[in-house]
Amino acid sequence: MRIFVKLVGVAVLIAAIIMVSGGAAKTWADSDCHGLPNAATLKALLIGAGGNNAGGLFDGIRMWGAVVNRDGALCSLATSTGDPTDVWPGSRHIAIHKAHTANGFSLDSLALSTARLYTFSQPGHSLFGLNVSNIFDTKCLGAPGSNKGLNQICAGVITFGGGVGLYKNGQIIGGLGVSGDTACADHEVAKRVRNNGGLNPPGGALVDDITYSSADGASVFTHPLCFNTFRNGVFLGNELPAVGY
């Protein structure tokens, strides 16, 4: 009889915990991805951001997008195309890297796009080696159209354009990574997705914008030009040709 009473007590306790937590059907993604674009919304935002002088090889119309939450866990993946194989397969994983990087190195008071990390991470600069500081987890590798990695922390670091922090009410809530074109076009599309989704940082859509020495003067935040580089609808030039090889 005592054992029965104890079992009943345990059952009541478990039931109470379930009620407090919102029910047994509540999942990790229900709470931790709140306020971030799901796959369908991300796809629509990617489609809306392509074209219109995004630049690059494809004018930003063939893109992978990835969103992580503040913990770095992958919340959504999408392509701007109906067929995911129409986008570079390698860009699936790069987009995740970029989302993780932008989230991991941005704060409420400092939005830091992956484009602004380029010079810092070059040989002879203060953050050289940053790219190998958070190794991408191979459990998140997947073919185009695969959801492998969702609800997991995939990690990875990319220090060229295409990743931006996502904000709500002045606070960072995650990161967005975009890949599928040149790094410069990736940044343009990511910036547009964030703006159109109402997820800009406190300083506005351009507070962590990509900078180029040819247009802005050299600085530690400088990113090199890419092929067919546009910024905010204005053509800025092309990547310099190879010299010496």
- What DSSP line would sit under 101-126, residue for residue? HHHHT-BTTB---GGGGTGGGSTTST
Is residue 69 one of the residues assigned to a domain? yes
Q: How confident is the model at residue 245, as a pLDDT?
A: 78
Is residue 175 one of the residues assigned to a domain? yes
Which helix (H) or strand (E) covers residue 67, if one does? strand 64-69
Is residue 214 one of the residues assigned to a domain? yes
Is residue 13 one of the residues assigned to a domain? no
Q: How confident is the model at residue 214, as a pLDDT?
A: 93
Which residues on adjacent β-strands are paired with residue 153?
A: 73
Give me 58's structure tokens.
Answer: 């494809």
pTM of the entire predicted model: 0.86
Q: How confident is the model at residue 171, as a pLDDT?
A: 97
Is residue 193 one of the residues assigned to a domain? yes
Q: What is the residue range of 159's domain?
A: 30-237
Which residues on adjacent β-strands are paired with residue 64?
A: 79, 179
Q: Which residue stretches of 22-88 are H helix? A: 28-32, 39-49
pLDDT in tens, the chain (245 residues): 444 434 334 343 333 333 333 333 333 344 489 999 999 999 999 999 999 999 999 999 999 999 999 999 999 999 999 999 999 999 999 999 999 999 999 999 999 999 999 999 999 999 999 999 999 999 999 999 899 999 999 999 999 999 999 999 999 999 999 999 999 999 999 999 999 999 999 999 999 999 999 999 999 999 999 999 999 999 999 999 988 87
Q: Radius of gyration (Cα) for the chain, nearest Å?
A: 21
Sequence-distant (6+) residues with CB within 8 A of 86 are 62, 79
Give me 215's structure tokens.
Answer: 């247009």
Q: How far apart are CA 221 and CA 185, in angstroms?
A: 17
- Distance between first and last Cα of the chain: 85
Give me 209's structure tokens.
Answer: 């914008």
Q: What is the phi/psi pair of residue 16, to 5°?
A: -65, -40
In CATH, what number is assigned to the domain containing residue 178? Answer: 3.30.450.150
Is residue 23 one of the residues assigned to a domain? no
In a 3-state reduction of DSSP, which class is residue 173? strand
Q: How far apart are CA 216 and CA 44, in angstroms?
A: 32
Which helix (H) or strand (E) covers residue 51, if one does? none
Give me 185's structure tokens.
Answer: 């076009």
Is residue 1 one of the residues assigned to a domain? no
Q: How confident is the model at residue 119, as a pLDDT?
A: 97
Is residue 245 one of the residues assigned to a domain? no
Domain count, the chain: 1
The CB-side HSE value for 103 (13 A sphere, CA atoms) comes to: 29
